[in-house]
């Protein structure tokens, strides 16, 4: 009897369960691991372990409202993560190993992102990227060169990226197809002429703006 109890105990100890600081549940869009506002300063080992071993696919991981500043590679490279929400953390950079991730939707709004002149964000999977409200001083000219499948780019609050002599990053969008750029800032003057070549070559599918944004060109745009 004692032997059976020991065997059962060992067996159950290997079963990974949802971390105590998260909520885990299935939904129509995937399996959610919601760890918002958990006071996290780093990605806990038991969370990484759970994500690596769970039988669920299409993982949607929400780590918003924490204090994370570093994204470890063993976490980013978990192939079953398709959506990663990091809103309102302290993320300063995206590691090179992101190129090996399977993440399709990445929410990095309201962090502390800064990029060097040599930074190139690379991914063959990424479809959606939110860089809003990071107050990014500039983006490197080649920043988007290796985001071949990117379809939605959100830049709310990133007004400095559209200033004169600070718009070279737009050149890296020329290899993209069917890209939608979304900007929802009040009383912001959008120099749409910067995107003239993209519109004419059908590289840029649309610009989505709110009704309070002023445009200096006659392009048709989609109000939100």
Q: Which residues pair with 160 in a beta bridge?
A: none
- pLDDT the model gives residue 215: 53
What phi-psi label fits residue 67: left (phi over 0), alpha (psi between -120 and 50 degrees) or beta?
alpha
Whether domain 2-223 has CATH 1.10.10.10: the reply is no
DSSP letters spanning the chain: -HHHHHHHHHHHHTS----TTSEEEEETTEEEEE-TTS--SS--HHHHHHHHH-S--SEEEE--SS------HHHHT-TTEEEEE--SS------GGGGG---SEEE--SS-----TT---EESS--EEE-TTS------TTTTTEETT--EEE-TT-GGGGSTT--GGGGGGTT--SEEEEE--TT-EE-GGGGHHHHHTT-EEEEEE-TT-EESS----EE-
Dist. CA 115–CA 223, nearest whole Å: 30
- pLDDT the model gives residue 10: 39
The encoded tokens of residue 216 equal: 């200096």
Q: Is the pLDDT of residue 47 over 50?
A: yes
- pLDDT the model gives residue 221: 40
Residues 6 or more apart whose CB falls under 8 angstroms from that of 114 comprise 92, 93, 136, 137
Confidence of residue 127 (pLDDT cuts 50, 70, 90): very high
Evaluate whether 166 touches 160 at the Cβ level (below 8 Å): yes
- pLDDT the model gives residue 220: 41
In terms of pLDDT, which residue wins out, 80 or 206? 80
- pLDDT the model gives residue 187: 64
In terms of pLDDT, which residue wins out, 39 or 159? 39
Q: Is the pLDDT of residue 1 over 60?
A: no
Task: Kindly state the average pLDDT of the residues 86-110.
Answer: 95
- pLDDT the model gives residue 163: 77
Average pLDDT of the residues of the chain: 81
Evaluate whether 63 touches 32 at the Cβ level (below 8 Å): no
Task: Kindly state the average pLDDT of the residues 4-19.
Answer: 53
Confidence of residue 176 (pLDDT cuts 50, 70, 90): low
- pLDDT the model gives residue 46: 96
Confidence of residue 13 (pLDDT cuts 50, 70, 90): very low
């Amino acid at each position: 009897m004692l032997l059976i109890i020991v065997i059962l105990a060992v067996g159950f100890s290997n079963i990974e369960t949802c971390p105590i600081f998260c909520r885990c549940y299935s939904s129509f869009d995937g399996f959610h691991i919601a760890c918002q506002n958990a006071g996290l300063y780093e990605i806990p080992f038991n969370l990484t372990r759970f994500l690596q071993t769970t039988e669920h696919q299409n993982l949607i991981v929400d780590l918003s409202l924490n204090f994370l500043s570093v994204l470890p590679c063993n976490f980013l490279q978990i192939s079953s993560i398709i959506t990663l929400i990091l809103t309102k953390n302290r993320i300063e950079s995206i590691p090179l190993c992101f190129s090996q991730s399977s993440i399709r939707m990445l929410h990095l709004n309201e962090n502390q992102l800064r990029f060097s002149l040599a930074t190139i964000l690379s991914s063959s999977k990424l479809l959606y990227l939110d860089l809003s409200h990071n107050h990014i001083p500039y983006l490197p000219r080649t920043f988007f060169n290796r985001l071949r499948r990117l379809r939605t780019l959100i830049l709310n609050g990133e007004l400095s990226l559209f200033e004169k002599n600070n718009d070279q990053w737009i050149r890296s969008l020329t290899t993209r197809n069917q890209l939608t750029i979304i900007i929802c800032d009040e009383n912001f003057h959008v120099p749409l002429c910067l995107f003239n070549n993209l519109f004419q070559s059908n590289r840029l599918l649309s610009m989505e703006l709110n009704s309070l944004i002023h445009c200096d060109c006659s392009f048709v745009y989609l109000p939100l």
